[in-house]
Every structure is written in structure tokens, then in C-alpha cells.
Structure 1
Amino acid sequence: MKQFLLFVGLLLSLAAAAQKPGTVKGSLLDGTATSGRHPLDEATVTVMESKDSSLVSFALTSNSGYFEIKGLAPGDYYLLVTYQGFATLKKSFSVTAEKPVADLGDVSMTTAYKTLDNVVVTDVAPIKVKGDTVEYNAGSFKTKPNANVEDLLKKLPGVQVERDGTVKAQGENVQKVYVDGKEFFGNDPKLATKNLSADMVESVQVYDDMSDQAKFSKIDDGSRAKALNIKLKKDKKNGLFGRAMAAYGTNDRYDATLSLNRFKGNTQVSVIGAANNVNKQGFSFNDVIGAMGGFGGMMRGGGEGGGGMMGGMGGGQMMMGSRTGGGSGSAVPGMSSNSGGIARSLSGGVNYRDVWSPKLDVTSSLFYSNTRTNTMRQVRNQSLFNLAGYDSTAITNSRNNGVRDNENLRFNMRLEWRIDSMNSLLYTPAITLQHSDSYSEDTALTTAISGTKPEALALSSRNINESVRDGHSINQNLLWRHRFGRAGRTLTVGWTNTLNNSDGSGSVYAPTTYYKGSGSGFSIVQDQQAQQKTRAHNNLLSASYTEPIGRNKILEFNYAYTHNYSESDRKTMLYNPSTKQHDIVSRPQTNYFENTYTAHRAGANFRLQQRKYNFQVGMGAQVGELATHSIKAMGNKDTSVTLNYVNLFPTANFQYSFSRSKNLRVTYRGRTNQPSIAQLQDAPDFSNPLQVTTGNPGLGQEFVNTFNANFNTFQFLTFKYYAINLNVTQTSNKIVNAVDSLKLNPNDSIPRQLLRPENVQGAYTASLFFAYGAPIKALKGLNVTANTMGLYNRDVSLLYKVRSFNHTLVLTQTLGLNYNYKEKLDLGISGSLAYNKVTYGSQPSLNNDYLTQTYSADITWTLPKNFLIATDFDYFVNTGRAEGFNQKIPMWNASVGKQFLKGKQAEIRFSVNDLLNQNQSITRNTGINYVEDVQTNVLRRFFTVSLTYNLNRMAGKNMFSMPRQLERGTRNMRIGM
């Protein structure tokens, strides 16, 4: 806590030291008005340095036309004022120590007139407001040479970029990133922000994106998401642009990236590629076979999290604690986005955009990724279990070594056919192929404390787990949109089709020794192989009709038909000592299961839209039928179960715009969650002999109520933003894994657990988030950000037939400061304090609270003769964990580089990762009946030398003939690679 208070004091001291006395103010008026001089509100007023026209500060005028810009140092400036429909105004002024306030009084603007073609206006406003869109002029926010879009976004007021590449705008997560209004490699934001160069960007637009249906009908359907649109410079839309980087270092560490763009009019082709073994992953992984589920624990081998044996469906380590409900965790990340393990990543893809005709647009992409993660974990787990009729505490210390390969190939396309002014067709297919191969080996020792008895060794185990799995997913969406002659009257018909297939095989070899109180014991060996096939085919047909019933009132009627079919075929074979083959059928674990869900849903919504506010209320009713069919090898039992559901789906949305930059949005909705095929399939899984899992064919569906209130204000005059978000989620009939004791026969003395999904009541979560950000205009380039978050979760479980509640409280405070000085110095300082408190209703011995403190600094300094020095430092402090896991971890990276060639097109850099060789990854996880601390291997100190080359060939030139200087640079790049 002392470190955090000192850090806050440092930030406040820096902010106080940044004060400057100069001010310019005035009132902007319409000089062309004949009936009085009217004020011009929300005009852009920019202060520029007279000597070099560099940007100093900017603001928007108030409703009365008033503007005031503070924090100016003594000097000569000029005011640049822009307003739509008026000529750009330029007015000089000075600030001195004797006269720090420049009062310009009334400033008049005149109507804009067309000028001759040879007149060029070079002064451009740094920011514009167009309705609900904020547009930043990229040229007004300088970045260091060879910067990417992510570096540019860090400079924009009201925009934040997290360490993992997540972008926030005005306090909200950016969910979509477009390039010139089109998708870039599907909908993966990181592929755009990390692979496009900042010097290609003309402007960045921030807005709330709507659904395709809302864009067509011009009616807000409430499905908004914060989005960025990256507008490219006109001269960058015809040419060849790109960047290549190659690095190699000690311990055979390597990192190479390639980004190449060939634009010619409407035809745009982008190629990207990357290869590294330093835990960099600039893309989002699409795990289709993990989403299909059904294969149980053997699919959870190495690299998927410590204590996989404790997972809901088995596999991994021999521990008694069970992950029977939502828990919480806090990780101490290392240098990269991967907080544990060492990963090798290969990826590459191509993105294609074109206009095939005036009515047909196409966007498509193909992306391939291959990752291999080697993981070594040390885990301490404390849990409760029922032994011989009374509760016991088990403490398990284990080690896990694992390797996991994941290979993905995904294809996305978007075809939009504008048939005529009233009709359009939108077709968006997506295909994903995935291969997964994993191996893990776990060893564990468990000691038990029962009542007043002393701690004693309970069991020792070893688990070798191997699995191979292949799967594919095909998704198709077809949307026909028709707009009638009357505004607001629309008809939309859609079809969504999904096909998921998965084939897996795996093996488990798990010898376990169980010790009696006397110290003697006996051993059991689980040696089995299993194969499983899962198939799923889902269809959704939907229709929506809107009818205006007044100037601003609309009724919507909708209908949806759902038909989902899935099947799972699992076969498990045990080892036969006589034949030395796995040829004995494990009848309890061999099962064929199929599931069909059919539903009809109809609903109506009423919307009222006004200039300042709009609201929507609606109700949907759904009749559904869930039919399951199971064929068990045990007793050749054939079972069918049919369940019928009737659900109501209330919705309500309210949005009030106090102004263009101040908005309140309140939403409520109810929805159902159907049980998965893995939760329904009643075939017990004995791959963990101490923790048997099975499904429940009679499982009911969940119903989730969600309430959200969000308030955002963005003050264009000061560029301060505030965001407050309240979210409450309550789940009825929540599906949890009930934990109970299991005896295979009356003489079975092994303390087995049985995990079986059940429906329980009483779970809810509430969270409150506050974000603040502002530039400190007293010092150009200085920005401060602060985030406060509180979360309370009450989870519910069934432990040995007793309903139990866990309570989790999480409080987090972060504070950050970013400073940029004339493209020479980039400085970022941040600090975070996270407090976690977990209380167990029926198991107070597991109660725990702990703190995580994080302090970071990031500096880039440009020296004369194009030398660059960069360093970042992170300091992690953990308290409240188990012995050996309370660590203070300093993480220091540094580099020095030199830019060369014409236009600084090339750069050579020497870097060191983890200079102090102290990097670690420590995580605490909590669940219904366990607390565990996990330490995972990470990258430690290594050195690299890298070479970066930027290609920028304008249209009209021979793109494939290079001057000798560039040829030498290319040869050097090949040598470096």
C-alpha cells in the first residue's frame, strides 16, 4: 500500500509541476447574420505555434460561442478556427509574462466561398464532431517513426490502449475496428491496430456502431457497440506499402513480422505474417472444438490451466477440489500477453476488398495460425471434501508439465448486393478448421486434515494425459432487407445456419496410491483410451417487420424458429493385461447421445424516438421442446427424455442524450441458456478415479436477467471524459456441478467425488465501473487516466446435498499518466491496486483475501542522429497468498535503436527482455470449495538484434524498381533475417 500512495503522490506532483499561466479566450460569432450576431457553438478552435505551425492545444466553443484555452507558455501563436459553412479563420496573438491572458473579444467568421484550384489550405482542425461521431485528424497527433495504428490511438484524447492491445474509447471497450468502413480480417481488432502503419492514416472516427438491420432501416434496434473506423489517406489508396521486421537473439529467440498492402482504387489486398517464440500473439484465437465440448477431461491436457483434473469434466491433476462454479483469479503477467508458459506462434493471412460492380461489394479474408505452448506449473490447492461422513481439508501440492499444439485456418467473407434502392441481400459465410494435440504429465501429493487428527499423507498420484482432436465449424448468415415507400416501414428476413463437427481421441494413464491412517496404502491404476465424435447442426429463421404509427413512433413485430440438433458418440476401452491391448469395453463410459431443441418465438416492440431521447419496450414469448435420446452400453439401456419450456423474454431500453457528448443508456433483457450436450450426456467419466463426472438428462434451462446502466460524458471544451457503468446479472435455475460422495460398492474405501450438473437458485453478480480521462493542457502532450471498479458476486453450489453460497468482492483502482514531448519523448506511468476477498458460507476455513499491486513505466526517447532509447519497467507485489507465492517481481525491458536510410525507412535495434532476470507468473484461483495458487513458467532474460524496413511506393512510380540505396537496405534486411 505504501508503494501505491507514493505512486499517487508522484502523479499529483507531476501534474502540479505542469501548470502554465497563459490563456487565450473569446467569443465566436456569425459575422454574416443580418439580424444580430449569432454565436457559433461547437466550432473547433486550435492554437498553433507561430514559428513552426505545430499544434499546441484545441477546444470547442460552448453554446454561447465562448472559448477559453489555458496552459499556454509565453510565446507567439495563432488561432485557427473552423466551422462548417464558414471560411477558415486565422488570427495571431501573443502571451507574455506581463500579459498572460489574450482576450480576443468577439471573433467574427464569414461565409466560405469556392476558391481557385491552386489554393491549398494546409491548416486542418485536429478534431471534428459530426453528429455522434468524433473524428480525429491523424496529422495533428504526432507519433514516432515506424509507429503503427496502436501507437497513434494512444495519442488521441479519450482513447486508451491496454497492454494486451484492447482499445477503449470514451470509457468503453472498442468491439469493432473497420478500415475505410469495411472489415479487416473478419472482425479481429488487433489485426488492424497492430499491422497497419500510422503514416497511412488520415483520420480515426469513434462512434457507436449499429447492426446491419438498423443501418438499413434507419431505426436504432439497440444493438450498439463502440467502434473505430480507420480512414486511409487518399495517396495511400494507390500504391504498395508495408513493413518487415526480423529479430534473433540468445536462447534461439526469434521474432519476425511482415505487413504488405497493395491498394489500387477499390481493389485492396493486404498480406500479413508473423513467426516468433517470444509469446507474441497479435490475433484472437478461435477455439471451435473447445466450444463444442463433450470429450471430457482428456481434452484438457497440458497448457490449459493448472489443476485440470479438478475441471468440471475431469482430466489433469489428481486433486480433491472441484471447479463447481464461477471463481475468480488474478494473474501477474510477464512481458507478453501470455501470462504463463512459453509459446511459439506462426500466423499469416490475406485480406481482399473490392467492388465487383456498382451494386456488389465483397470483403474476404483467409487467416492461418499455429501455436505451440510449453507449460510447467507448480500448484498449491486447498479444498474440502467429505471423507467417512465428516469434512476433511485436503492440501495438494502438484507439478504439471505439458505441451499443446493448436492449428487454426479461418475464412470469412461478406457479400453485399444492393439490388435496388429498396432491396438488398447480405451474405456472410465463415469457415474455421482446427487441429489440437496435447500432452501433459502431472504428479501430486495430497495431505488431509480430518477433525482433530494430525495432518497425514492421503494420496499420491501421477497422471499422463494425451489427446488429439480435429474439428470444423461452418457458419452462414443470409439477410434480405426490404424498405417500403413509407419511411420506417421495413421487412427483414434472415437465415443463420451453423455446422460443427469434432473428432477426438485420448488416453489416460493414472496410477494413484491411497494411504490409510496407519501409513499403509493400496494403489489403483486407471489406464484407458477413448474416442468421441460430436456433431451439431443448427438453423435459425427470423423475420422482423416495422410499422410507423406516428412521426416518431414505431411498432416492430418479430418471429424466430430455431432447430438445433447435436449428437455425441463416446467409446472408452480399458487396458487388458492378458492381451496387452486396450480391448475391454468400459460400459459405464460408453454411450451414444443425441439432443434436439426446437423453439418458436414471437414478440413485439414499441419504440419512441425523439431528438433528445428514445426508448423501447417489448415482450417475447417462446415455446420450446428439448428431446434427448441416450443409448448406454451398460445394460444396453435405451432412454428418451422430452422436456417442454414456455418462456417470456422482456426487454426495455432507454437512452437520453443530454447533449452530443453526454449520454445515458439503460437496458434490461431476459434470456435463456440451454444445457450443453456434455451436461446432458449421462455417461460417467472415470478418467480421474477420484473425481467421476457425469451428465444429467433431466437438466433444465437457465434464465438470466441482466440490467445495465451506462452514463458517458465527453467534454469537448476540455477533452475530459467520464464513464459510469452499473451491471447486475441474476440467474435463475443456474447450472452448477453438484459435488457428492461416490461409492462403487459397499466396500469401496476410496474418497471419490461425483460431479453431476444440477439446477440451483440464488446466484447473482453486480459490478460498478468508473472511468476518467483528460489531457492536462498546462503541459502539451500530458494526459491522465483513472479507472475504479467494484464487483460483488454471490455464487451457489450443491456440496454433499447442501446448498452453499460463496461471496467474492473485488475492488480495483488504477491511475495513469502519459506524456509526449515534441516527438522526442514518450512517457507513460501507471499504477494499479486490486483487492480480492472471498468468503465461503459453509466452509469458513477457506476464507481468504489478498492484494495485487502493479506499477509500470514506459519511456521512448529520440536522440540526435536518429538514435532511439526505449525502456519499460513493471513492478508486481503479491500479498495474502500461500507461502512461497507472495513475491515482489521487477520486470525490466530495454532497447537502443538507430534509424537510417532516406525517410528513416530502416531501423536496427538491440533489445533485452527481463534485464534483471526476475520474471514470474503467479495466479490465485478460487472456486466453490477450493483455493489455489499457481506459479507458471515464463520467458526470462534474453537479448535480440532486430532490423525493420518500411516500404512506401506511391502510385505512378515503378513500384518494383528500387534505387540503389533501397537495394542495399533490402540486401541488409535479408542478411539480418
Structure 2
Amino acid sequence: MRKLFSLLVLLISVSQAYAQAVFGTVQSGTDKSPLPGASVVLKPTAEAGMLTTVTDTEGAFRFDRVKSGVYTLEVRFLGFSVLSRNVQVQQGAVDVGVLALQEENNKLSEVQVVGRAQLGEQKGDTSQFNAKAFKTTADASAEDLVTKMPGVTIQDGKVQAQGEDVKQVMIDGKRYTGEDVNTAIRNLSADMIESVQVFDGQSDRAAFSGFDDGNRVKTLNFTTKKDRRQGYMGKASAGYGTDDRYMVGASVNYFNNNRRITVTGLTNNINMFDFSVGETPGGGMRGRRGGWGGGSPTGIINTNNFGLNYNDMWGKKIEVSGNYDYSSRDILNKQYRYRQNISGDRLGQIYTENSENDNTEESHRFNFRLQYNINENNRLLVTPNISVQRNDNATNRSANTVDGEGTMLTESQNRNNADNNSLNFNNNILFSHRFGTSGRILTTNFNTRYNRFDGDAFQLENTQNFENSDLNVNRNQFIKTDRENFSWSGNMDYSQRLGENSRLQLEYSIGNQQNDSDRRTYDFVENEGRYSDLNTPYSNTFKSDYLSQNFGPSYQYRTEKTRFQLNARYQYATLQSENQFPRDYRLKRNFSNLLPSAEYEYKISKNTNLNINYRTSTDVPSVEQLQDVLDISNPLQARIGNPELDQDYQNRLNIRFRRFDPETNRVFFVGMFGSMTQNYIANSVYTGEVPFALPADYVRQPGARITRPVNMDGYWNVRSFFNYGQPINFISSNLNVHGSVGYSRIPGMIDEQVNYANNTSLGAGINLSSNISEKVDFTVWTNSNYNLVENTLRTNQNNNYFTQNTNLRYNWIIWKGLVYRTELNHQYNSGLSQGVDNSYLLWNMSLGKKLFKNQQGEISLSVNDLLKQNVSIQRNIASDYVEDVQSTVLQRFFMVTFTYNIRKFTSGQAPDMEQENRRGPGGYKGGGYRQH
């Protein structure tokens, strides 16, 4: 007992020795707006460790565990003068108050600075880029700007940064609320941006508690120019073209410091999903927003869209943001599918399919976020969101299966009509309390989620058996589906400072997920003229209850250069399920797992950073995977659930190395991302007999395959990505070279035989973007991928294929407001299946003339797919097949468009677009930097 008492006294003494804290807020001296991401350094006058941090989204910073003494506090932020002051720490906390940074006063008239503007700098795991170093046209969007930056690309229509999809956008440190990242970056003008930060954003829970929970998302933060934070800007366009093609859209942003309102609207039939301030007149330059390989979105799509985004501060303590989006789409799509099956008993079966799909979608989505900074020690965050969706779908499908010698086995004609409605509601409440300067933090979180799905489907089938015509099938059924899901979860984290550089956290969490699904199938009764005969074997009522609990400690050690965190979680979970149809079945299963995780971060130098992150997690099977009912919506590719599935266990390892040389403007990034899954939910495919019960009236056709999910070990997915970038001074451009190596191993079973589909991919690309002139803007990039596909069960069905996508975007102000724009996108494919187009060249262009005094208007003539070669091809690889899918795309049309730029800022005047073109963003001209 005496030793225990002495230990407690020692811990209390250590805690009191470092109870002092230094905190404050960094703001702009011009408009009092917070400066997130500012670098704050606390330097002791005597020999001791220097402390560094960066400000949060509110511009706030805090140093804990500060020894008594005299310090120099330095604050730095790009575009502002360095602030320095002395701070004396004795007993208790030191509030330095509001630190107002002044903009650098270098506005000497017509002074030309020789050399290029600095690209940016590396701040720990944050890459910050100077927007002035990347020239764009005056009417470009933030998307056009960031894709010129090192490591930022467009892949499959999504913005990627450092090899990962961007999932979150912030403006001046305030989160842009909404699910669509592309919409967010397209509705911000490039000439409003001062700098761009790229980093791995932590979850709100981790930000509140100070302990990383592993839920990170790649984030872009746009810092706007001070003279662009009050006023409004936007664009409106209207166009009409051949084949009755039309487009009317508008996007308007209102800025008043903390208050930001964005309104967008769009109606068109040219496959545009959103309208942005950087939209090319006529909507012709769409290749970079399309699907696989950079092609256009599949199908012919009519879209009506309205969006409203709101961000504001209610007083000094409440930050709010909200988003509402309405969308309706009518999509007509025809597809050709060529699938080479991997079989255990039949070699070389080929499945081909032609389908026509008419799909109408309508959705309402609302997201809201309220953060209440009650006081220095208490914060509350509430984030509700709701969505309502309706989907009407009609599909006509013609499919057949042939054997390896080309003999027809089965042919099927079927039609499916479905009317689906869904409601989704989610709410999260997060509260954090800091116990004064003691270093103790309590964080609590409670989440509720509700989902409801109602579906009515009509299914007609006519299947012809070429081996035995007596087994031909004609089926007419109605399927009614009602599905309801309710889940809740809560957790409590308590952390305590152990010493100058270390903290300990204890966490407990509990969650419950309840599913109730009722699927009933009725056969059509001829003499009654209605669907009244309940088909029990094709019906299923299913209930499941999943309860999980987690408990464990976390330890964190942090110094000026090193951060290390180790977590250990013990999870105990129970899964109960109950079936009524097609048979009575009850199941109860218990799971017990240890879930460790660790993270190590080392700041090798000011501009060089290494991060290693290891995580483990579990995932419970979905209702569809557990539901023991045969789905024959495609009779040749039937599916059935498995109520005996276990949860899977995932291991993930991420390694990232970043280096930014501010003297040479060279950027290097390399990352490796790997995952391994035990009890992976794989596909078990049966071409012959099955070890489970099927409906008595089900007729198994030759070549038909039944897929059932099973748990298997051996899933791997490893990929690496690197990017090297530097300026090319002799042509005033930026060069980026990137490459990737990937390997995936997907386990599966075919007729009870194990098969591993191994896919090795090698990729390389180069990107050259201009900073040449105020009248010329171009981007050239090419990306190549070589894939080696190997199957362990049938090695003679291995397949290798090569793809290369090359893109040129070019904007040229020819003379007195005459603008020429063009985009060429070439796709080359080698090794794909027969019956699909291997290569194409998509060429879009427009010629426009600026109008009005400030060149705010433009009339243009544009053409989409000038050569009429546009196609869409997608390759899919699974454990039991390799397939190529070719879809309908929008081809050549001409359009005349009128566009008007809306711009007015605090000066009360609209910016002169011709002057903006001459000067470029931030006054950049001809590779130099002009300051006024």
C-alpha cells in the first residue's frame, strides 16, 4: 500500500509539474477571420525542447505540458508577416489572446520579381500549395486549379490526391457540408483561392479527443483571398443544339466572411450531372468527368438538379453548415456484356448478354452540422442528415451461355420492372469536456441510424433449354419487399496526461444493429387475373440482431519530431438471426476478437515526413448476404444468401512518405496501402449440384450458375503509388510523373474447388501543365496500365490486358476576347474480349467570343465528340470470371451557348475579365510575379 501511495504521489507531482498551458487564437488583421493551418512555434530561451503545432479550423492553438520559463512565440502563415512575442510561463495557464497577423506589405506598383512563385511547403503530413504558382484562365474552377498540383489527378471521374480519393472539402477551414466532393470544388472559382492544403483529415471524434481513431479521409482545404471573402460570384449558361440537345444551368456563390451560400441549378439532356463556375460553354468538355478510362458517363441521361449549401457563424460560438440537394434523372442505357467463366467441370463457358435499361431516379438529400464551442473546455457537435429516394427501373435482358466448342446451352429472355422507395436518417451527437489545465479529456458520442426500403417488382422469364426442351421455363411473378433497419451506437473516451510527452486513453463503446426484412413472391394466377399465389420457396422473412462491445486502452507519445500511438481493443459481439420463409431457421453466434492498431509519424525535417499506420477492424454480413432466398432476376446468374456467414476480420497497413523542397519546388510522395482479410465474404459458384436446398419448382438450366456467399481466408489487396513533381522553367510549366504497382488476390470457390484470382497491375503516367502565358493554358497527361490476371484453378484461362489513356486540354485567347478551347481524349485497349471496341478518340472543342464591357458574357459554338468515336468499355475481374462491358454513350452533337459571369466583390464593381486574363490569379504574368 505504501508503494502504491508513493506511485500516486509521483503521478500527481508529474501532472502538476506540466499543468501549465499556453493557448490563443490566430486571426487575419484585415478582416478578423480565423487562419487555420498557421504554424505556431514556442521556443524556450534556455536549452529545452521546442514545441510546435498548427491552428485548428477556428484558428485556435494550444500547448499543454509547458515547463515554467521564458519563451518566444512565433506564428507564420503564407502571405502574412511573421508575428513574434515573448511569453512567460509560471503557474497556471497562459492565454495570449487573439494574435492578429498582418498581410505582407509588398504592394509596390509595377515591381517585377524575377523567378517563379514558391509552389508551397510541407507541414508535417500537410502539403500546402501556393495558388499563385499555378496559372489558370480567369473563369477556371478550383478543380482546374488543383489538377495542376503535384499528386492530384482525375481517376474514373473522381478527384484523387496522393493516390487516394478525396472525400472531404473545406473552405477557409470550414467544412463544405454535402456528399459530393466534385460539386464542392467545381463551385469555387480558381481566382478566389490563395492556397490549397492536402492532408488526411481526422474524424470529429478524434479531433475532439486528441486520439486518432483511424477514420481518416483525404481532405482539400481552400484558403480564399482576403479581397474575395465579401461579395458574390457565379455563372449562368443556356444552350441548344442538334438532336434537340439542351442545357440550362447556373451556379452562384455569396460570400460575407464567415457566411457562405451557394445555389446551383441545372436541367439538360447532355449527360451533365452538375453545373459549375468553371463550366465550358456548351458542356462539351466532359471527358475528364466520365467513367472508366476517362470516357463519358454511360447511357443517355436527362438531369434536373437543384442544390443549396449554407455555412455561417451564429454568434462567436456556434458554427453551422447545411446542404440540400434535389436531383431527378432519366437514364436510358444499352449494354453488351461478354463474360468468360472459370469453371470446375466445363472448360471455356462463355456468357453473353444484351440489355436495355430505362431508369428514373429522384432524390432529396439534407445534411446539417452544428458545432457549439460552449467555452474553452466544452464542445458540442450535432450532425443529422436525411435522404428520401425513389427509383423506377425497367430492364429487358437477352442472355445466353455456350460451351467451349460454341454449342448453345441456354438462352433466356426476361423483363424486370421495379418501383423502389427508401428513407434514410442518421444523427450523431458528440460532446467533449476538458478538465481545465489538468490534461484530462472526456469525449462521448451517440449515433442513431434508421433505414426503410419498400420495393415492388414484376418479373417475366422465358428460358429455352437447348439440351432438353421439356425443361423450358415461363415465369410471371410479383415480388414485394419491405426492409427496415435500426441501429444505435455509443462510446466514451477518457484520456489523461501521463507526463510531458505522453497520454493514456481508456475507451468503451457499444452498438446494436437490428434488421427486419420481408420478401414475398407471388405467382400470377390466370383464372383470377392477379398475383395471388404465394410462392413460399422464393419468399423469405428474416430478422437479425447484431450487438457489439469494445473496450481497451490507447497510449500516445509525442515530441517535436515524433508521434507514436498504440491502441488495443477487445471486441465481443453476438449475431442472432431468424428465418420464417422458406424454412424455419434460428441462429446465434458469438464473436471474440482483439483489435490492435498503431501509428508512427516522424518529421525527418521541416519539409519531410514519414507516416506508418496499422489498423484492424471487423465487418458484419449485410442483410442481402444473409437472406436465404433464391434471386432469379437473371435466371442464368442466380444468387442466394447464406445465413451462416461469419463477420470478417480486416488488417490494413498504410505507409506514406512526403518531401517538399521549397528551394527547388520539387515534390515527392510515395505511399503503400495494403489490406488482408480473414473470413472474407467470397463467392461460391455452382455450375452443377449444390449442397443446399433449392425451390422445388426451380429448373436448373444448362450453363446456369448459382452464386452463394461463403467465408474464406486469403484475400489480399496491396498497391503503391508515387508522384514526383517539379517546375520546368524553360517552358514555364509544371511536370508531374507518377507510377503505381498493385496486387490483388480474390478467393472464391467453383463447384467446391478453391480458386484464387490474382491480378497484378503496373501503371505509369506523366502530366505537364502550363504556366506559360495569360493567353494560353494547357494540360497534357497520359497514363498506362498493364494487368496480369491469373487463376489458380484454370491457368489456361489467364488473361493479360493493357490500357492507355492520353488527354490534351488546351485553352487559347486568340484575339480580343476570341477564345478557342479543345480537349482530346484517346483510349487504347489491348487484350479485351471479342465484340467490344478496343480504342477511340474523343475530340471536343468550342469557339467563343467574349461580350460586354468587362467581358462577363460569352457566346460560343461547341461540338461534342467531333469524330463520333466515343465508347465506354469496362473490365471487371472476379474470382470466377473475367468480363468486358460496353455501354451506350452520348456521341456527336453541336451546341450554341450563351454564358454570363456574375462577379461583384467588396469594391462594388465586377472584376474586369480581360484584366484577369492578362494578370492571371494573384497577378502572375509570364512566369513572374507582379505585385501592386
For the aligned pair, the TM-score class normalised by the smaller chain equals: 0.7 to 0.9
CA distance change for structure 1 residues 167 and 938 in 2, over 3 Å: closer, same or farther? closer
Alpha-carbon separation, structure 1, partners of 2:851 and 2:563: 56
- Look up the match of 1:657: 603
Alignment map for 1:238-253 (pairs within 5 Å)? 238-253=230-245
- Look up the match of 1:100: none
Alpha-carbon separation, structure 2, partners of 1:410 and 1:116: 40
Q: What is the CA-CA distance between 1:930 and the residue it aligns to?
A: 2.0
Verify: 1:540 aligned to 2:489, yes or no: yes
Alpha-carbon separation, structure 1, partners of 2:439 and 2:668: 34
SS in 1 for 2:730: coil
Verify: 1:884 aligned to 2:877, yes or no: no
Q: What is the CA-CA distance between 1:189 and the residue it aligns to?
A: 2.2
Alpha-carbon separation, structure 2, partners of 1:141 and 1:455: 57
CA distance change for structure 1 residues 600 and 220 in 2, over 3 Å: closer, same or farther? closer
- Look up the match of 1:726: 672
CA distance change for structure 1 residues 694 and 172 in 2, over 3 Å: closer, same or farther? closer
**Are the aligned partners of 1:185 and 1:367 in contact in 2 as well (CA < 8 Å)?**
no
Alpha-carbon separation, structure 1, partners of 2:765 and 2:907: 50
- Look up the match of 1:927: 878
CA distance change for structure 1 residues 258 and 599 in 2, over 3 Å: closer, same or farther? same
**Are the aligned partners of 1:726 and 1:766 in contact in 2 as well (CA < 8 Å)?**
yes
SS in 2 for 1:391: coil
Which of 512, 537, 541 matches 1:592? 541
- Look up the match of 1:849: 800
Which of 780, 791, 799 matches 2:750? 799
Alpha-carbon separation, structure 2, partners of 1:894 and 1:514: 51
Alpha-carbon separation, structure 2, partners of 1:151 and 1:747: 55
Verify: 1:790 aligned to 2:741, yes or no: yes
Alpha-carbon separation, structure 2, partners of 1:529 and 1:920: 36
CA distance change for structure 1 residues 801 and 589 in 2, over 3 Å: closer, same or farther? same
Q: CA RMSD in A?
A: 3.0
Alignment map for 1:763-774 (pairs within 5 Å)? 763-774=715-726
- Look up the match of 2:361: 406
CA distance change for structure 1 residues 250 and 171 in 2, over 3 Å: closer, same or farther? same
What letter corresponds to residue 547 of structure 2 in structure 1? T
Alpha-carbon separation, structure 1, partners of 2:768 and 2:504: 48
Residue deviations 1:194-216 (CA, integer Å, cap 9, x gap): 11222333443444433334444
- Look up the match of 1:777: 729
**Are the aligned partners of 2:610 and 2:656 in contact in 1 as well (CA < 8 Å)?**
yes
- Look up the match of 2:12: none
Q: What is the CA-CA distance between 1:249 and the residue it aligns to?
A: 1.0
Alpha-carbon separation, structure 2, partners of 1:226 and 1:839: 32
Q: What is the CA-CA distance between 1:544 and the residue it aligns to?
A: 0.7
CA distance change for structure 1 residues 797 and 561 in 2, over 3 Å: closer, same or farther? same
Verify: 1:758 aligned to 2:710, yes or no: yes
Residue deviations 1:142-189 (CA, integer Å, cap 9, x gap): 421222222232444x35342666444566554321122222242532
- Look up the match of 2:351: 396
- Further displaced range: 748-757 or 835-844: 748-757
Question: Paired residues, what number?
Answer: 793
Overall identity of the aligned pairs, in %: 33
Verify: 1:344 aligned to 2:265, yes or no: no
**Are the aligned partners of 1:219 and 1:488 in contact in 2 as well (CA < 8 Å)?**
no
- Further displaced range: 273-282 or 424-433: 273-282
Alpha-carbon separation, structure 1, partners of 2:103 and 2:748: 76
Alpha-carbon separation, structure 2, partners of 1:241 and 1:274: 17
Q: What is the CA-CA distance between 1:671 and the residue it aligns to?
A: 0.9
CA distance change for structure 1 residues 283 and 789 in 2, over 3 Å: closer, same or farther? farther
Which of 261, 267, 290 matches 2:253? 261
Q: What is the CA-CA distance between 1:747 and the residue it aligns to?
A: 12
- Look up the match of 2:273: 281
- Look up the match of 1:675: 621
- Further displaced range: 488-497 or 171-180: 171-180
Residue deviations 1:645-682 (CA, integer Å, cap 9, x gap): 11110111111111122111111111111011111122
**Are the aligned partners of 1:906 and 1:948 in contact in 2 as well (CA < 8 Å)?**
yes
Verify: 1:945 aligned to 2:929, yes or no: no
SS in 1 for 2:170: strand
Alignment map for 1:298-309 (pairs within 5 Å)? none
**Are the aligned partners of 2:397 and 2:413 in contact in 1 as well (CA < 8 Å)?**
yes
Residue deviations 1:674-731 (CA, integer Å, cap 9, x gap): 0111111222334444444322222111111111211111222222222211222111
- Look up the match of 2:587: 641
Alpha-carbon separation, structure 2, partners of 1:221 and 1:610: 20
What letter corresponds to residue 443 of structure 2 in structure 1? T
Alignment map for 1:807-846 (pairs within 5 Å)? 807-846=758-797
**Are the aligned partners of 2:412 and 2:635 in contact in 1 as well (CA < 8 Å)?**
no
SS in 2 for 1:506: strand
Q: What is the CA-CA distance between 1:537 and the residue it aligns to?
A: 0.6
Verify: 1:866 aligned to 2:817, yes or no: yes
Alpha-carbon separation, structure 2, partners of 1:842 and 1:935: 27
- Further displaced range: 540-549 or 185-194: 185-194
**Are the aligned partners of 1:184 and 1:191 in contact in 2 as well (CA < 8 Å)?**
no
- Further displaced range: 193-202 or 530-539: 193-202
Higher RCO (C-alpha 8 Å, min separation 6)? 2
**Are the aligned partners of 1:787 and 1:814 in contact in 2 as well (CA < 8 Å)?**
yes
Q: TM-score, with normalisation over the residues of structure 1?
A: 0.77
What letter corresponds to residue 219 of structure 2 in structure 1? A
CA distance change for structure 1 residues 596 and 605 in 2, over 3 Å: closer, same or farther? same
Q: What is the CA-CA distance between 1:403 and the residue it aligns to?
A: 1.3
- Look up the match of 1:305: none
**Are the aligned partners of 2:837 and 2:871 in contact in 1 as well (CA < 8 Å)?**
no
Which of 256, 270, 273 matches 2:262? 270
**Are the aligned partners of 1:145 and 1:904 in contact in 2 as well (CA < 8 Å)?**
no
What letter corresponds to residue 706 of structure 2 in structure 1? L
SS in 2 for 1:599: strand
Unaligned runs of 5+ in 1: 1-79, 87-112, 285-329, 960-977
SS in 2 for 1:902: coil
Alpha-carbon separation, structure 2, partners of 1:344 and 1:797: 39
Alpha-carbon separation, structure 2, partners of 1:237 and 1:198: 13
- Look up the match of 1:227: 219
What letter corresponds to residue 402 of structure 2 in structure 1? T
- Look up the match of 2:9: none
Alpha-carbon separation, structure 2, partners of 1:201 and 1:903: 21
Alpha-carbon separation, structure 2, partners of 1:116 and 1:547: 39
Alpha-carbon separation, structure 2, partners of 1:568 and 1:846: 40
Q: What is the CA-CA distance between 1:487 and the residue it aligns to?
A: 5.3
CA distance change for structure 1 residues 692 and 532 in 2, over 3 Å: closer, same or farther? same
Alpha-carbon separation, structure 2, partners of 1:730 and 1:283: 40
What letter corresponds to residue 668 of structure 2 in structure 1? Y
What letter corresponds to residue 185 of structure 2 in structure 1? T
Alpha-carbon separation, structure 2, partners of 1:626 and 1:611: 45
What letter corresponds to residue 147 of structure 1 in structure 2? A
**Are the aligned partners of 1:513 and 1:521 in contact in 2 as well (CA < 8 Å)?**
no
Alpha-carbon separation, structure 2, partners of 1:675 and 1:723: 36
Alpha-carbon separation, structure 2, partners of 1:541 and 1:115: 44
**Are the aligned partners of 1:396 and 1:445 in contact in 2 as well (CA < 8 Å)?**
yes
SS in 1 for 2:870: coil
Which of 318, 321, 333 matches 1:363? 321
- Look up the match of 2:430: 479
